[in-house]
Structure 1
């Protein structure tokens, strides 16, 4: 570990030394020869991206003329000046949602499961009562339907 730290420090010192030498060299070249540098600074190379081969020219997008751009912009500006007519307004999007809408959405799947289990439990209770012979069939069905409707009223 100490070898790697020592090596990194040595490389950093060498890099600093090279930068100092380069800086001195640039200052010396600028101060000598009346401010004109002896080294030539490379000029940036601008590339032309126009295709040279015929095959590529055919596939290339046609060049846009300045008049085309002006006419396109002016037509778009004219379209923006025209009033926007909304044909249909969706009232559901305009009305604010209740604060607990996301909770209801998240719990709806669980409630469906519970509803199925409740229906199954009610059916089992009715069968148990019928088997025991405590009540007649009509009364058991009426009790079950009353339980279901009262459960729906509670949900609303």
Structure 2
């Protein structure tokens, strides 16, 4: 059901209830009203205008009368703004590429550094005449360290 149908159904129920209430008061089987007694303050009321017959002006239907149209209009305005290409395009065109590749590059950077260290060790080993493998490079490095220690002890 839409809001309009719901409000119409509610209005019909309220009118039926009001008609039933009036028919009971005409027949004499109506509710007893304490028109001069205020149960909240427990005192007698002063005579004022007939408050029982005044209809409620502030209703839910009147409060939300133009609300649906306003919401639809605001939604259409937001959709029109969303279709603007400048609002969709990122400020930096390659931000998503950087976001995806940063994690992978961190791993690759570590592996690159390890490979560089290995190559340096192999070159050092090759210069000293040892084998090309890592073990040879490490042995050559150990020999170089021992030679430096021995050279500093002789002085």
Normalised-by-shorter TM-score class: under 0.3
| Structure having greater relative contact order (Cα 8 Å, sep ≥ 6) | 2
Length-normalised TM-score, structure 2: 0.26
Considering only CA atoms, is the larger Rg found in Structure 1 or Structure 2? 2
Length-normalised TM-score, structure 1: 0.26
